[in-house]
Amino acid sequence: MTKPNADTNTLRGRALAFRALHVPGRPLVLPNAWDAMSARLAEEAGAAAVATTSAGLAWALGEADGDRLDRDRALAALARVTAVTGLPVSADIEGGYAKDAAGVAATVRAVLAAGAVGVNIED
């Protein structure tokens, strides 16, 4: 069943759940998803949350890692991930898919609109 990925109440609930997983002294393990199916498998295996992997997303879409995947394709892939899982999703967004802070801020807003509740910028 596909769940809505931009419902504000659901997004807020996922954000609160993700925040609750951040407990000092208790490591948060985030399985990395590279597509919608890998996110579902992580959920079915009992994960409390999932993260995307920029390299994995790029490779799954036939691109090389390292800021080669364009922002729109990355966001579309992220939206597919968030649409199929009820888990909180944290997105790896490379260097923000932008050349300046305003562009990175726009990317973060788009990530939230795609249904993710966390962001990792250039790990």
Residue 82 lies in a domain: yes
CA angle 79, 82, 85 (to 5 degrees): 150
Our count of domains for the chain comes to 1
Mind listing the pLDDT tens digit of every residue in the chain (123 residues)?
Answer: 344 444 546 888 999 999 999 999 999 999 999 999 999 999 999 999 999 999 999 999 888 887 778 899 999 999 999 999 999 999 999 999 999 999 999 999 999 999 999 999 986
Q: At a CB cut-off of 8 Å and minimum separation 6, what does 117 contact?
A: 11, 14, 15, 18, 88, 89, 90
Residue 77 lies in a domain: yes
pTM as predicted: 0.86
Report the pLDDT value the prediction gives residue 10, as an integer from 0 to 100.
Answer: 82
Tokens of 42: 């992580």
Residue 37 lies in a domain: yes
Check which CATH number belongs to the domain holding 49 and give it. Answer: 3.20.20.60
Distance (Å) of CA 68 to CA 37, 62, 112:
23, 10, 22
User: Range of 94's domain?
Assistant: 8-120
Q: Is there a contact between 78 and 38 (Cβ–Cβ < 8 Å)?
A: no
Residue 2 lies in a domain: no
